């Protein structure tokens, strides 16, 4: 049986799908979770001939996900406890809600939704056993994401100091000598997607990058580059978000400072390789989730 956990601003409440002892909130139904949202596809009918004009896969899109969660308050004859359970649910109002469903073999979540609750009780039941209703959650981002992320760090190449120099006033060669940049090799990250829909990875550029940072991405025989051209300093990381195709620094949109915008999603069943080759003293935190529609 599934358990549903609703969370907002650190407050959480669990709806139990299986048996439990004592008072609590039972899960009585779950719809809109495993089905796809309504299709959002624009088609053009043929003026002559049957049907409409062909569409391409990139035009197959989906609307917001609407999830209905059935609940029942279990409080015996204790009305005060029943009202307390209601209060736990209604702490989610006016907040962005994350819904996590823990099912046999799958643990996924949707975030950024809003919450509406109904109550189906018409008369007061002395035992309060028939106090039930539905919670409706609307998620404008329809993808279900694995709760456990695929994440890791790509470390920058280390640049050793030195080079051919004739010193101050051209007095002679300066030591130690070096013939170009010497690197200890950058980390290559691999981000898989074991879901059924395309995944949108994120990259956080941390540390010192005096000349910006570039990432080489490769997936299924395709390659591209994401490059941020401005200096990045410790304490002010830059977040690159594939879904919104934006760069933010300290909550400020700095997308205009991207010199190359080779955004790549991760198709279902594939893996994306992230190669960090820019010399520096920083690192990039890469993250993605198995994604389901």
Q: Count the neighbouring beta carbons within 10 Å of the beta carbon of residue 204.
A: 16
Q: What would the two tokens of residue 1 be?
A: 């049986």
Q: pLDDT at position 184, please? A: 46
3-state SS string over the chain? Answer: CCEEEEEECCEEEEEECCCCCCCEEEEEEEECCCCCCCECCCCCECCCCCCECCCCHHHCCECCEEEEEEEEEECCCCHHHHHHHHHHHHCCCCCCEEEEEEECCEEEEEEEEEEEECCCCCCCCCCCCCCEEEEEEEECCCCEEECCCEEEEEECECCCCCCCCCCHHHCCCCCCCCCCCCCCCCCEEEEECCCCCCECCEEEEECCECCCEEEEEEECCEEEEEEECCCECCCCCEEEECCCCEEEECCEECHHHEEEECCCCECCCCEEEEEECCECCCEEEEEECCEEC
User: Per residue in 218-263, pLDDT tens?
Assistant: 999 999 999 999 999 888 999 999 999 999 998 899 999 999 999 9
Q: pLDDT at position 183, please? A: 41
Structural domain for 207, as ranges: 150-292
Q: What would the two tokens of residue 26 be?
A: 């039972």
Q: Of the candidates 115, 146, 177, which is a domain's last residue?
A: 146
User: Per residue in 109-118, pLDDT tens?
Assistant: 999 999 999 9
Q: Establish whether the linkage from the previous residue to 176 is cis, with ω within 30° of 0.
A: yes
Instruction: Return the CATH number at 203.
Output: 2.60.120.860
Q: pLDDT at position 44, please? A: 87
Same domain, 8 and 119: yes
Percent of the chain with pLDDT over 90: 57
Q: Of the candidates 146, 170, 203, which is a domain's last residue?
A: 146
User: Per residue in 136-193, pLDDT tens?
Assistant: 999 999 999 999 999 998 887 654 444 444 445 555 554 554 444 444 445 788 999 9
Same domain, 285 and 170: yes
Number of compact structural domains in the chain: 2
Burial status of residue 28 (CB atoms within 10 A of its CB: 0-12, 13-18, 19 or more): middle
Q: What would the two tokens of residue 45 be?
A: 């009918």
By DSSP bridging, strand 202-206 and strand 213-219 are: unpaired
- Mean pLDDT rounded to a whole number for the chain: 86
pLDDT at 47 over 90: no
Same domain, 137 and 165: no
Same domain, 119 and 218: no
Same domain, 140 and 161: no
Same domain, 115 and 227: no
Same domain, 166 and 114: no
Same domain, 242 and 109: no
Same domain, 196 and 164: yes
Q: Of the candidates 111, 146, 181, which is a domain's last residue?
A: 146
**61-85 mean pLDDT:** 89
Same domain, 142 and 156: no
Instruction: Return the CATH number at 38.
Output: 2.40.30.200
Same domain, 161 and 138: no
Same domain, 155 and 201: yes
**CA distance readout (Å), 10 to 7, 71, 281:** 6, 21, 34
Q: pLDDT at position 214, please? A: 93
Q: pLDDT at position 180, please? A: 43
Q: pLDDT at position 18, please? A: 84
Range in 40-54, 93-107, 156-170 the model is least confident about: 156-170
């Amino acid at each position: 049986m599934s358990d549903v956990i609703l969370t907002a601003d650190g407050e959480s409440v669990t709806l139990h799908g299986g048996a439990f002892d004592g008072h609590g909130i039972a899960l009585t139904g779950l719809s809109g979770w495993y089905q796809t949202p309504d299709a959002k596809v624009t088609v053009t009918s043929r003026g002559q001939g049957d049907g409409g004009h062909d569409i391409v896969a990139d035009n197959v899109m989906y609307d917001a996900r609407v999830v209905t969660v059935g609940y029942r308050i279990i409080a015996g004859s204790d009305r005060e406890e029943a009202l307390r359970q209601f209060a736990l649910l209604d702490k989610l109002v006016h907040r962005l809600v994350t819904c996590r469903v823990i099912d046999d073999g799958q643990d996924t979540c949707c975030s950024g939704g809003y919450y509406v609750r109904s109550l189906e009780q018409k008369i007061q039941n002395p035992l309060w056993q028939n106090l039930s209703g539905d919670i409706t959650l609307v998620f404008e981002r329809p993808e279900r994401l694995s709760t456990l992320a695929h994440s890791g760090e790509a470390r920058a190449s280390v640049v050793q100091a030195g080079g051919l120099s004739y010193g101050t006033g051209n007095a002679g060669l300066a030591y130690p000598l070096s013939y170009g940049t010497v690197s200890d090799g950058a980390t290559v990250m691999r981000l898989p997607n074991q879901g059924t829909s395309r995944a949108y990875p994120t990259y956080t550029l941390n540390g010192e990058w005096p000349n910006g940072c570039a990432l080489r991405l490769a997936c299924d025989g395709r390659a591209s580059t994401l490059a941020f051209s401005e200096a990045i300093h410790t304490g002010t990381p830059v977040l690159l978000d594939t879904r919104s195709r934006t760069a933010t620094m300290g909550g400020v949109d700095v997308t205009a400072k991207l010199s190359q915008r080779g955004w790549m999603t991760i198709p279902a069943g594939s893996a994306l390789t992230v190669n960090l080759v820019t010399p520096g003293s920083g690192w990039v935190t890469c993250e993605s989730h198995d994604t389901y529609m």
